[in-house]
Chains A and B, each alone.
Chain A
Amino acid sequence: MQERMKLPFLMPMLIFLFVWNILPLLWVVGLSFYQFSVLQGGIPRFLGLWNYISILEDPYFWERFRTTFSFVALAVSLELVIGFALGFLFNQKFPGKRIMLPIIFAPMIIAPVAAGVFFRFIYDPHWGVINYFLTKFFNIRLEFLEKADLALPAVAAVDIWMWSPFMMLMCLAGLQAVPQHLLEAAEIDRIPWFMRFRNIVLPHIRPVLVLAVLLRTIDAFKTFDIVFVMTGGGPGAATEVLPMSIYRQAFLFFRTGQASSLAVIVLFIAVAFTSIYLMMIPKEA
């Protein structure tokens, strides 16, 4: 009987989502088949798959995929290592934890724009703190954001600073699921710590860590704000990750059609990651 409330309950949200989300997505898919520029306007010319072919044939875009991959791999792997170490440390018993934890978690929800802008100041070759200490102790000065080979790691470092706490949070959650009596029994039996870790701890935290790595991969793949404010994709195209590339193509070069097909490719990658994520959610979390 109450089932008849189904539609009135669901519909407002679904209609809203359709107009504000599905429709734009269909639009971007449509645009990707046309030659069109926001700047010139006019009637879009149908190109079929040509935009896709030109992207996949252009080494410039392959380079963007590689940049994105390096960024994601570098950021997520270091976040995992650092987060893991922090997780183990904060799993110990000591006083003051209730004050320390929120302080460590704070970077995770700080606006990326604010963090990015401020790290530019910290990285500054002339009055940045890092370069002050580098000059003082090693007598070198690094132009972090101006040198092509330093810019990507420098931007990734901000992401690592912001998101290692997330890995730590997940790691802590996993560690709490480890049955304490098993660990104690193993300790009494004098089983070495790495065996204890591999056979007792790891199986219990693995599901959570898989989720953590996936979520971070998806999120790092989306990175735009930090790159935008720190380097704008430069120097050259050294930090031009895919979202930045879409932005540049669409709003700096006004190649709307081509940018749309790049967006559709990125969309497919994101949806693929989402399905993997959903498959990995533990049933009894």
Chain B
Amino acid sequence: MADTTRERGKVNVWGVLAAIITIAYSLPILWLVMTSFKSRIDIFAVPPKFIFRPTLTNYIYTINRGLFWGPLLNSVIMSVVSVLLAVALTIFAAYAISRFNVKGSQLIMFMVLSLRMMPAAVVVIPMFLLYRLLGLVNNYIGMILLYAMFSIPFSLWMLKGFIDEVPRQFDDAALADGASVLQVLRDVILPQLGPAIATVIIFNMIFVWNEFLFSYILTGVETRTIPVQIALGIYTDKGVDWEYVSALSTIYIVPIVIAVFALQKSLLRGMTFGTIRR
């Protein structure tokens, strides 16, 4: 009896500490969201206002300032289409590497991972020259193909890991029954990979959604994505436009924060390219 109360007291100490840290940790995001609901006077108030009358002025202003729906739509289209393309391409390759005896599969996996690990700045110069040559600068198809490429390494590592976990006996049984490899992939593997593929897609979409450098160098006004619009939209002739930046950033991070809750279980696996499988 005495022991349980002591246990309970202990539990609360850790819990309270964790709660305080959680709140402290979310302060920058909280401050961003609060700022986006403040009037211009409240944003620049000294001392800073922690309690204020919330207003939607910044959002209305942000939507009407121009270049809002365009970049938003571009971000959505590019992240969805490119990731679906990359995952569709990669499922076959991941299956082949997982199941067949592919010569140089180690090398492929290594090269693909290296592509992921290298700084974007390394390839941005030739990408720019290549796209200028092909006339793909400020072009939807160019950006979608670029982001599809960008999504392949992560997809390959994750999908190969997930397919490795599906027992081979399933394949063998289906093959013995006379199914073709394509049928095995469609009817045996894919149904078991549903949640895994969803995870891979969400992760990739976040990466594309957040990508900045390529979009900054290779897009124009028509194909610009939100991160570029945030970076460029700060400056106006009045100086730094915090009303705009705070509202646009808040809109921009909402889908991501929702995604964290959805991804909670696979966060570890995703953040390590599937090298840690728990």
Contacts and interface: CB of A to CB of B under 8 A. Distances in A.
B32, B175, B264: most-surrounded residue (chain A CB, <10 A): B32
B140 interface: no
A204 to B, nearest CB: 13
Of listed B115, B118, B213, residue having the most chain A CB within 10 A? B118
Contact of B209 (A9, A111, A117, A225): A111
B212 A225 contact: yes
A139 B182 CA distance: 71
Interface residues of B, number: 93
B260 interface: yes
Contacts of A74: none
Given A17-B149, A20-B146, A92-B14, A173 B125 contact: no
Contacts of A151: none
Residue from A17, A129, A259 whose CB has the most chain B CB atoms within 10 Å: A17
B12 A94 contact: yes
A246 interface: yes
B15 A94 contact: yes
Interface in A100-119: 100-115, 117-119
A114 B119 CA distance: 19
B245 A211 contact: no
B271 A281 contact: no
Given A104-B22, A224-B121, A24 B113 contact: no
Contacts of A247: 121, 124, 213
A89 B12 CA distance: 12
B119 A21 contact: no
B259 A109 contact: yes
A109 B206 contact: yes
B242 A218 contact: no
B181 to A, nearest CB: 4
Contacts, number: 279
A247 B127 CA distance: 13
A31 B125 CA distance: 10
A166 interface: yes
A285 B276 contact: yes
B161 to A, nearest CB: 10
Nearest to A27: B126
A118 B27 CA distance: 12
A94 B12 CA distance: 7
B76 interface: no
Nearest to A226: B212
Contact of A117 (B46, B113, B245): B245
A250 B125 contact: yes
A97 interface: yes
B277 to A, nearest CB: 6
B121 A243 contact: yes
A93 B206 contact: no
B200 interface: no
Interface of A: 2-3, 5-6, 8-10, 12-14, 16-17, 20-21, 23-25, 27-28, 31, 38, 86, 89-90, 92-97, 100-115, 117-122, 126-127, 129, 132, 136, 161, 165-166, 169-170, 173, 176, 208, 211, 215, 218, 221-222, 224-225, 228-229, 242-244, 246-247, 250-251, 256, 259-260, 263-264, 266-267, 270-271, 273-275, 277-278, 281, 285
